[in-house]
Amino acid sequence: MDIKSVYKPILTSNSKPQKNFRRADYVYLDSAASTPLLVEARNVMEEYFFDNFANSSSAHAAGRNVKDAIEKARADIAACINAGNDEIIFTSGASESLNLAFLGYHRLACGRAEGKKVAVGAIEHHASLYPAMEVKKYGAVVAEVPPAADGALSPERLRDAAEKMGGLDFASFMLVNNETGVIQPVAELVGEARKYGACFLCDAVAAAGKIPIDVKKLGVDMLALSAHKFYGPKGCGILYVKRGTRLEPRTFGGGHEFGLRAGTLNTPAIMAAAEALKKAGEDFAAREKHCLLLKNYLYKKFEIFKENNIEIRYNSPGEKTVSSTVNVSFKNEQAERIVEYLSSKGIMISAGSACNSKNGARASHVIEAMGVPFEFAMGAVRISFGIYNELCDIDILTSAILSLLKK
């Protein structure tokens, strides 16, 4: 059965993958962890590795040329999220961006955290949760706000947390959950945080390229992105900082990035990140249709588990999630066992966040926070699609899981 794709010339089902589009000799269904580099982004990187390689801080003409290119990239990225050029800070990745935003915020930095009230989602990535725990060491009061059973946070739960703490100074909530793909009502959460005069940080790493991002519509004060999640290179993070939001540097040295982040800029990665983010916007509709086709096909194929008396539970409500991520639990199974078996068969999925997937056989903190029953929580896996996946990848995945669970 051949099905025409809106993103690639053809998606093939029940047959071998199309070699023209294969980027590795395995089936990769873990795009939420990382994505391959776009050809357009790679070409940009090569130019700035070999031709325009000068240090952007150098005073000579070669350095000024690179500086001008970086400022063009900054403007392009700003335009993609409806920000000002001077509101974009380049970092080494989302973890650095989130740490800078948390620990550099002027009301929490340098020992001023004592007594401050901080709210953070219980389903946040550890790059947000751990900085929250760090400010707690310095006397901040930290509340982890739990989601509803569908994985979504609510303004009401944020309000309850703020009332219990007696106020709110800083809030950190993600736009899309990296494990379940659930889209969070960030604009509504911002509205609630504003009632207390709180600064609002948003982790948008899992959202970039999956849903439109407009910092003005969201109303956030800071927002973090990571290039390798939207077909850019690893080692390049982006932090949006709204004008008037006071940050203090956590890395000291030169006066790079408006004095907030010392260190020579990673020019090739920055230029490639801008190219990849622009391409994500240009191709958004096509990618969305492509991933929806894959997602709906997966739901159809996974009916075979019920037919074989294998109980499954979807932890990603279809109407509230991005099209590229499905989190599904297999009852009384170990996620690690499934992931390892599939890996041995050349099929790559994950048991939650890649950053925390080797910390032992325990349920994901996201799945636990959602209240998923233990017999399902331990068997939760994440399947995430990318632009190079094909329908036959779902066939191969389904067949392999069924073979394992029927043994």
The first and second tokens of residue 308, run together, are 């074989």
Q: Which residues pair with 172 in a beta bridge?
A: 120, 201
Of 199, 202, 291, 355, which is the active-site residue?
Answer: 355
Cα–chain center distance at 305? 29
Q: Please, what sign has the CA dihedral across residues 106, 111, 117, 122?
A: positive
Is residue 77 within 8 A of residue 273, CB to CB? The reply is: yes
Angle in degrees, CA 204, 378, 361, rounded to 5: 90
CA separation, residue 56 to residues 47, 52, 403 (Å): 14, 10, 55
E strand intervals along 10-55: 11-12, 27-28
DSSP string, 353-395: -GGGTTS-S---HHHHHTT--HHHHTTEEEEE--TT--HHHHH
Among residues 147, 202, 216, 54, which one has the least CA distance to residue 364?
147
The H-or-E segment that residue 54 falls in is: none
Among residues 151, 186, 154, which one has the least CA distance to residue 316?
151
The first and second tokens of residue 154, run together, are 């609510």
Is 199 annotated in the active site? no
Residues known to be catalytic: 355
